[in-house]
Structure 1
């Protein structure tokens, strides 16, 4: 997809994408007490397929490939990353889980050392250290703002502070697998079109979650079925808007808008579950987002 060099369009697309992902996260969190997270993942993948297919066909994407194993690896790492995100949503307040999602760029830097032979400079190492201090700050303040229990529905209520700690670890693990998926995309993009990569990922992730579905199936009520379909449609729309944003403007110019997901999550968490972020969560989020800006600044300097 050619770069349009339209910063305003890119900003609007990114704002829409982050809002979609925040709403999708809220729906997943709200439905998690009644349905297994793997069932939620299946509906997320299945009902985003029509949107992904429509966009892929418009871009002229084909499923013809000589790198089926590479696509399977990318789909597997993407599925594990999504599983970690969906499961951690059952344990953590929405804003905290969203903040931990932003650890992905930190893991990308670390994985690029053995994977691509890159040597991070002082600014990138500072960003990695700052980001992980932010993760530790959030974990150290676990339970401070909600009495040691998970704020919101899910097994975290029963597990108390232990549930929150598990949620932090799983969310961070999701960042690692998302970074691993990013590295695989870099390899595939040498020979495959981005739309082809997305098509294979969506098809394979739907198939993978479909295989596991009989072991976790709970028949949804009609109102819940509508919400499950909505998870897929909103997730697919967010995916498309995110792609359009990066096709419209430089990554460095989109940085500030990328992190608005934390704002959307904070607002939704407060309105729906009365979740109020504590000092540790705010401080940790500032460190993680600051690390992201350091990485973007470093990327901009290298590109220039």
Structure 2
């Protein structure tokens, strides 16, 4: 059993998970010219499954598949598939750092969707943070060079940005569903059903988008699944080791990884607008996290 409230262990696992997820994104971007992103999604889910099944077999805990909330797992897997599809498509048309920055919009949409879905009241502080985050999105979208100098038409890049933001909406819905499932299901059960169902969903679409990979592409696609699976396990272990509120800031290190990898591997030097917009989005996410901590202390005190 992992140690509870071990911030050092949780932070190291979170840092490792964000690094691996960024490496996975870089691999996806690398194969995107010849392999359709739907096909990549299948490999991401299918080759993550052995990692999940190995963990279940190692613990001899096949009861992880037992659930009384199968329909909720299906809905959660559907929203997760949509989020992943938006993310992978955005990687095909946007620089790595830009795509990563726009994925940070998830906390903004979690805040907005918690109003109709959870009946939460959002005060002036969190509304201000949401507006700050959306200002960051506009800085990235409208900043100098956002639609200039690339090899793709402006319209395609604009669609890529819109899809990247849509990923934040689908991820926010997934987050709220996971919150609901976590009341009765373990993290391992949620992740295992996620992998199984997302593999099934993408397998159904695979015949329409299949391109036979080259030997190198086979290797890279398998790596996408294995690296993603290991990163998912590390992320789950991180949250089992320390409180989410303590680990939130560490998740933003992926912008550093994406800037470095994008610059070195793809020669995509981020513009000032991307860096400034990312800073605003990260600041809004951290402030929302701060307000969550304040509200939690108030509930305990009340």
TM range (shorter): over 0.9
Is residue 2:123 matched to residue 1:121? yes
Partner residue, 2:300: none
Query: Taking structure 1 as the reference length, what is the TM-score of the superposition?
Result: 0.93
User: CA 1:174 to 1:145, structure 2 compared with 1: closer, same or farther past 3 Å?
Assistant: closer
Partner residue, 2:82: 80
CA distance in structure 1 between the partners assigned to 2:237 and 2:184 by the alignment: 21
1:85 CA displacement:
0.2
Partner residue, 1:205: 198
Is residue 2:240 matched to residue 1:240? no
CA contact (8 A) 1:56 1:196 kept: no
Is residue 2:134 matched to residue 1:132? yes
CA contact (8 A) 1:251 1:296 kept: no
Partner residue, 2:222: 229
Contiguous gaps of at least 5 residues in structure 1: 150-156
User: CA 1:59 to 1:21, structure 2 compared with 1: closer, same or farther past 3 Å?
Assistant: farther
Deviations 1:150-186 (A, max 9, x none): xxxxxxx34x211111111000001100111111112
CA distance in structure 1 between the partners assigned to 2:177 and 2:2 by the alignment: 22
Partner residue, 1:257: 250
1:198 CA displacement:
1.2
CA distance in structure 2 between the partners assigned to 1:51 and 1:266 by the alignment: 28
CA distance in structure 1 between the partners assigned to 2:15 and 2:283 by the alignment: 19
Partner residue, 1:11: 11
CA contact (8 A) 2:38 2:85 kept: yes
User: CA 1:169 to 1:146, structure 2 compared with 1: closer, same or farther past 3 Å?
Assistant: closer
CA contact (8 A) 2:187 2:236 kept: no
Query: Taking structure 2 as the reference length, what is the TM-score of the superposition?
Result: 0.94
Is residue 2:148 matched to residue 1:147? yes
CA contact (8 A) 2:262 2:268 kept: yes
CA distance in structure 2 between the partners assigned to 1:191 and 1:7 by the alignment: 25
User: CA 1:44 to 1:268, structure 2 compared with 1: closer, same or farther past 3 Å?
Assistant: same
1:253 CA displacement:
2.0
Is residue 2:34 matched to residue 1:34? yes
Partner residue, 1:67: 69
CA contact (8 A) 1:25 1:89 kept: yes
CA distance in structure 1 between the partners assigned to 2:86 and 2:3 by the alignment: 32
RMSD: 1.6
CA contact (8 A) 2:37 2:89 kept: yes
Contiguous gaps of at least 5 residues in structure 2: 298-302
Partner residue, 2:178: 185
Could you list the runs of 4 or more consecutive aligned residues of structure 1 that deviate by over 6 angstroms after TM superposition? none
CA contact (8 A) 1:62 1:196 kept: yes
Is residue 2:267 matched to residue 1:294? no
Is residue 2:36 matched to residue 1:43? no
Is residue 2:232 matched to residue 1:217? no
Partner residue, 1:176: 169
Question: What is the aligned counterpart of 2:93 among 77, 91, 95?
Answer: 91
